[in-house]
Amino acid sequence: MLLWQARVRIAVALAAGGLAFALAQLGWLRGSGPALLVIVVAYMASVSGIAWVIRRAGAAGDLAVGATVAADLLFIFASTIASAAPDHYYRILILSFFVLHLTESYVGRRHAAIVVAAVVGAYAGLLAGLANAGYGVRWPDEAWSLMIFAVASLAFLWQYGSFQRRLEHIVGLFEGAEQGDFTNAYDLDGDRTPDAITRVGRAYNRVRLQLASMVHTDPLTGCLNRRGLDQAMAREISRSARAASELSLLALDLDHFKTINDSFGHIAGDAVLRELGGLLVQIARGGDMVARTGGEEFSILLPDTDPPGAYRAGVRLCDSVRTHPFTANGKRVHVTISVGVVSMSSGPHDASGMNLKERADEALYAAKRGGRDRVRVWNEELASLEREASVISEH
C-alpha cells in the first residue's frame, strides 16, 4: 500500500508544486518559486527514500508509516509557509485533513489519532512562534479554527471507524458464507444510524437463508447435503458437549441400488432416491436432520438420543422402507436399507464429527456384510473386526 501510494504522492507533489511555482512566478502567490521547488524536491526525495527502504526490507512497520505521514505533514506545513501569508496559514488545517483521511482509510485509527495530535500541536507551535516574532496573532480566531479542526477530525474518526468495523463484520459474514457457514446474520439492531452499510447488511440477511438452502441442500432429494450435515454435526456436537446430552448418528445405504439402475434406468433410480429421501424425512422426528451424503447413501443426525433410542430408530427405518411401496417406471420395486448406528456415548473419544462418521460407516459395513436389511450398532469389538476385514481384503 505504501509503495503504490508513494507513486501517487510524487505525482501529486509534482502537480501541486508545478502549479504553485507558476503562480508564484506570476505574483499570485507569496514566496519564491525556488523555495517551493526545494520543498517539492525534498518531499519527493523523502517519499522515494522511504519506498526504497520498504522494498529492501520487504515489509513496512510502524516506523515506515510514521515517516510517511510525517513527510506529508512537513510538506503541507513547509509549502504553505513558503507560499502564503500568516493570515492564510489556516490552509494547513484544511490540507492536513486530507492526510488524516488517507491515514484513517489505509492505516488505521491509532495512526490517524496521532496525526490529529501532531497537527494541533505543530500548528499551535507555529502560532506561538509567530507571536514571539512580533506578528499579531488573533488567538481567539486561531483557537476557534483549531477547535473546529480537532472536533471535525475526531467526529470523522468516530464515524469512519464505525464504518470500518461494520464493513469488516460484513466481510466476515461473506467469508463465512464462502465456506458454507450461514449461521450468523447481520445485526440490524446494532445499527443506531441506518445508512448504506445497513442496506448491504439487510440485503445479506434477505439472501442468507436462500443461499444456505442452495449450498446445504441436495437438489435431488431436498435433504441436507454433505456440507450441510457437517455443519449441523459440528453445531450439535458443541451443543451436546455443553448440555451433557447424547447425540447419535445413523448411516444408511440403499441395498442393491445398482440392480435398480441396471433394471429400470438412472431416471427411475433417481425417482427411488427422491422417494426414499422423502420417506426418511417423514419418519424422522422434528429435530432430526436427514442428509444425502453420497449416491445412495444417507445419514440421519439424532440430537438428544441415546444408543437404545438410536437403535430403535434404525429398526423403525428398516421396517418402514421394507414395507413402503416404491415404484420405478410404474412397477413396484422392493427396497431395503442397511443401517449403522453410533452414539457419542459409545467411547471416550467421541467428540468429533469425523469419529462419528467413521464409526457409523464401520457399523454400516458390518450390517451389509451381515446380510443387509439390518441394523448394526458400533462398538470396539465391531471396529476391530472391520479393521481385520479391511486388512484381509487388501491382501
Buried b (16+ CB within 10 A) or exposed e, 87-112: eebbebbebbbebbbbbbeebeeebb
Catalytic site positions: 296
Supply the Cα-derived Rg of the chain in whole angstroms: 36
Q: Which residues pair with 159 in a beta bridge?
A: none
The rounded distance, in Å, linking the Cα atoms of 78 and 70 is 12
Helix, strand, or coil (residue 339): strand
Amino acid symbol at 108: G
Place of cell 472536533: 151
Q: What is the DSSP string of 176-233?
A: HHHTT-------GGG-SS--HHHHHHHHHHHHHHHHHHHHHB-TTTSSB-HHHHHHHH
Helix (H) or strand (E) holding 317: helix 307-323
Query: What's the distance, CA 227 to chain centroid?
Result: 17
